[in-house]
Structure 1
Amino acid sequence: MAEQQNAIPVIDFSPFIDGNPAERKAVAAQMRQASSDWGFFYLAGCGMPEGNLREAFAASQALFALSDDAKQAVAWQSAESNRGYVGVRRERLDPSKPGDLKEAFNLAPEQPGGAPNLWPVELPAFRPQMEDFLQQCVATADGVLQAFALALQQPEDFFVSAHNQHHHTLRLLHYPALPDSFNAQAGESRAGEHTDYGSITLLFQDTAGGLEVRTRAGEWIAATPIPGTVVVNTGDLMQRWTNHVFCSTPHRVNLRSSHRERYSIAFFCHPNHSANIRCISTCSDAENPPRYAPISAGNHLLERLNATY
Structure 2
Amino acid sequence: MSDDPSRIPVIDFGPFMDGTESSRRAVAGQMRQASKEWGFFYLAQCGMPQTQLADAFSASRSFFSLPIEEKNRVAWQNAQSNRGYVGIRRERLDPSRPGDLKEAFNLAPEEPGPDAPRNLWPSGHGRFKDVMSGFLEECICTADRVLEAFALALDQSADFFVDAHSHHHHTLRLLHYPPLPEGFEPLDGESRAGAHTDYGSITLLFQDEVGGLEVRTRAGDWVRAAPIPGTVVVNTGDLMHRWTNHVFCSTPHRVNVAPEFSHRDRYSIAFFCHPNKDAEIACIDSCATAESPAIYEPISAGRHLQEKLANTYGA
Look up the match of 2:290: 286
* 2:105 is the alignment partner of 1:128: no
Look up the match of 1:75: 75
Report deviation, 1:122: 3.1
Structure 2: which amino acid aligns with 1:219? Answer: D
Look up the match of 1:39: 39
Report deviation, 1:258: 2.2
Report deviation, 1:6: 7.2
Choose which of 225, 236, 247 in structure 1 pairs with 2:238.
236
Choose which of 152, 155, 159 in structure 1 pairs with 2:154.
152
Deviations 1:86-131 (A, max 9, x none): 0000000000000000000000011113200000013111111111
Listed as ranges, the matches of 1:77-226 within 5 Å are 77-113=77-113, 114-226=116-228
Q: 1:219 to 1:6 in 2, by over 3 A?
A: farther
Report deviation, 1:259: 1.7
Look up the match of 1:54: 54
Distance (whole Å) between structure 2 residues aligned to residue 178 and residue 6 of structure 1: 28
Q: 1:255 to 1:228 in 2, by over 3 A?
A: closer
Deviations 1:250-287 (A, max 9, x none): 00001433221100000000000000000000000110
Choose which of 274, 278, 292 in structure 2 pairs with 1:274.
278
Tell which deviates more after alignment, 128-137 or 76-85.
128-137
Distance (whole Å) between structure 1 residues aligned to residue 262 and residue 240 of structure 2: 32
Normalising to structure 1: TM-score of the pair?
0.97
Gaps of 5+ in 1: none
Hey, which bits of structure 1, 4+ residues long, moved more than 4 A?
none
Gaps of 5+ in 2: none
Distance (whole Å) between structure 1 residues aligned to residue 67 and residue 49 of structure 2: 31
The number of aligned residues is: 305
SS in 2 for 1:202: strand
Distance (whole Å) between structure 1 residues aligned to residue 6 and residue 69 of structure 2: 46
Structure 2: which amino acid aligns with 1:245? Answer: V
Structure 1: which amino acid aligns with 2:153? Answer: A
Distance (whole Å) between structure 2 residues aligned to residue 140 and residue 22 of structure 1: 21
Tell which deviates more after alignment, 147-156 or 247-256.
247-256
Q: 1:14 to 1:165 in 2, by over 3 A?
A: same
Report deviation, 1:308: 0.4
Distance (whole Å) between structure 1 residues aligned to residue 112 and residue 227 of structure 2: 37
Distance (whole Å) between structure 2 residues aligned to residue 300 and residue 290 of structure 1: 18
SS in 2 for 1:125: helix
Report deviation, 1:51: 0.5
> RMSD in angstroms over aligned alpha carbons?
1.0
Choose which of 287, 297, 303 in structure 1 pairs with 2:301.
297
SS in 1 for 2:241: helix
Look up the match of 1:21: 21
Distance (whole Å) between structure 2 residues aligned to residue 246 and residue 252 of structure 1: 19
Identical counterparts, % of pairs: 69
Distance (whole Å) between structure 1 residues aligned to residue 13 and residue 6 of structure 2: 21
Look up the match of 1:30: 30
Q: 1:284 to 1:6 in 2, by over 3 A?
A: farther
Are the equivalent residues in 1 in contact too, given 2:211–2:257 (CA < 8 A)? no
